[in-house]
Structure 1
């Protein structure tokens, strides 16, 4: 198999009952085969939807095959020791043309016990928000399981959920166990653990084109929910041009936002990890060794651990999310 280099993968498009058109109109993925695409999976090791390399000599290889072959050269020694042949992150874009279901994800312990899977801690970066858009993250008051069940049974769950007004560039960190939903009118970049386990609590009684309601997991969710109340659910950060600004640092991933209007060299030699770039705005050329890769809004690039220094060159400006594992 050929030498590793920064990899771009074929987009996996997901039809969702709440999906819209922003994947095409805002992110420029006009090759979507779906009229109401709710999600794209850009870098995925989930067994049902493994990403396929699109660029360079390794084109056509799956992410899972590369990981089995290249091991630490792809993901880093410590990451490989921890996760083996399971790629640990899933990168998505989400277009909510309607509210998503109210839901929760299990933590590692519960997911392992019930599903032999990782849990699902995630973060959202809001790329675009319609006027008046909102989302739900956590509770707006102290609750316990008894209070939660009472409100649910009374049809008053919204009374205890924390609703947040949202604008572009807002960031939310959602550890496993936090009740949440993405609201109508939001286009979001999501970094998460590799897991597709979702417990739907309420889906607004929607039906699909066959008249069927989606499955709910009301009882399963009870043991997964973090019932604690927190003072603040939105990630506070100060945006800055031509600087690296940390957004999230947790055991599962670290994510920074980089907004540059000039060339920048990123030296990853002190990291023992792969790095993922998610281009949120603008475009740049990624230079590595003696090669280049053009990157535009909506592109997601996996930089292998063996590629330690890259330069991002631009004639204008760009903004990216940069994620890796400590």
Structure 2
């Protein structure tokens, strides 16, 4: 019987027209090109990460699911229905503006086979002065108004722009029109889905030199015109060794904690724990081991791990399945 331990994975790097090289600052090895996304923990046809530490090194998260899913993922985290690991954990380098986009819910009839909807949250790791994001529609914009604005090339008039700085958290339920803009580095915790409908892309060519596809009809269909419950918050009013809930949904709960002294914690049989180290460095200790941790590292703690200790000086994002 294998003893559970914190799993770390080889990130899958994705070139994106809006990407850059900022993820190198976390010590990550980047291929050449404009790297926009590091899929840190993923079990998806478009990217499956492999374990790089300990006894299970070399196994993909899909292999872990097949062999140990029920025990490692927990009663809430393991699904017989679609099987895949329920979350996708990314680091994003937005060197340029992302397309204006919207994601469907699980119930949308136009979803590709086997695909889920996409509710997500962002935690801003770094933001250049003046950085902003697109976050929702302005009041009173209905389907007809959005459709007309897309048709007439003035969709930006319908959208809310929000200034951002490091430490801001954004909850983005499916149906919320949104876009990250240039100058931010973000940790993204989301449903395990790669379905994005592009509303507008600034009329720019893609990596292949051709205009990128827009998904106007799907976008109009899935947008939540009355709002989907998007929430944003500042997260700086937090003490040492305390958790602050920064996003809560049916798919994930994300908390932020400041580790400043040894902190005794535990997993539960209901859910695995994902730890994203946002700042600083330290260690994760458990009954028969210790793992160094630094900014940019992401770990999957099996539900069956039990007690563990965080130590050092670091800012941590903790995610579980409710």
Relative to the length of structure 1, the TM-score reads 0.93
**Structure 2 unaligned residues grouped into runs of 5+:** none
Aligned to 1:186: 184
Quick one: distance in 1 between partners of 2:275 and 2:294?
Answer: 11
Q: Trace 1:1-326 onto structure 2 (pairs within 5 A).
A: 2-25=2-25, 27-29=26-28, 31-81=29-79, 85-110=83-108, 114-229=112-227, 233-235=231-233, 237=235, 239-242=237-240, 243-269=242-268, 272-314=270-312, 317-326=313-322
Quick one: distance in 2 between partners of 1:199 and 1:20?
Answer: 22
Q: Structure 1 residues 73 and 229 mapped into 2: Cα distance closer, same or farther (>3 Å)?
A: closer
Quick one: distance in 2 between partners of 1:217 and 1:230?
Answer: 20
Q: CA deviation at 1:111?
A: 5.9
Quick one: distance in 2 between partners of 1:71 and 1:116?
Answer: 19
User: Which deviates more from structure 2 when the two are superposed, residues 213-222 or residues 298-307?
Assistant: 213-222
Question: Are the aligned partners of 1:13 and 1:34 in contact in 2 as well (CA < 8 Å)?
Answer: no
Quick one: distance in 1 between partners of 2:127 and 2:79?
Answer: 39
Paired residues, number:
321
Q: CA deviation at 1:83?
A: 5.2
Q: Which has more strand, going by share of residues? A: 2
Quick one: distance in 1 between partners of 2:188 and 2:63?
Answer: 24
Question: Are the aligned partners of 2:138 and 2:160 in contact in 1 as well (CA < 8 Å)?
Answer: yes
Question: Are the aligned partners of 2:150 and 2:200 in contact in 1 as well (CA < 8 Å)?
Answer: no
Q: CA deviation at 1:114?
A: 4.5
**Structure 1 unaligned residues grouped into runs of 5+:** none
Q: CA deviation at 1:112?
A: 7.1
Quick one: distance in 1 between partners of 2:304 and 2:253?
Answer: 19
Q: Structure 1 residues 75 and 82 mapped into 2: Cα distance closer, same or farther (>3 Å)?
A: same
SS across alignment from 2:214: coil
Question: Are the aligned partners of 1:52 and 1:59 in contact in 2 as well (CA < 8 Å)?
Answer: yes
Question: Are the aligned partners of 2:173 and 2:228 in contact in 1 as well (CA < 8 Å)?
Answer: no
Root-mean-square deviation (Å): 1.8
Quick one: distance in 2 between partners of 1:175 and 1:230?
Answer: 6
Question: Are the aligned partners of 1:53 and 1:61 in contact in 2 as well (CA < 8 Å)?
Answer: yes
Question: Are the aligned partners of 1:72 and 1:305 in contact in 2 as well (CA < 8 Å)?
Answer: no
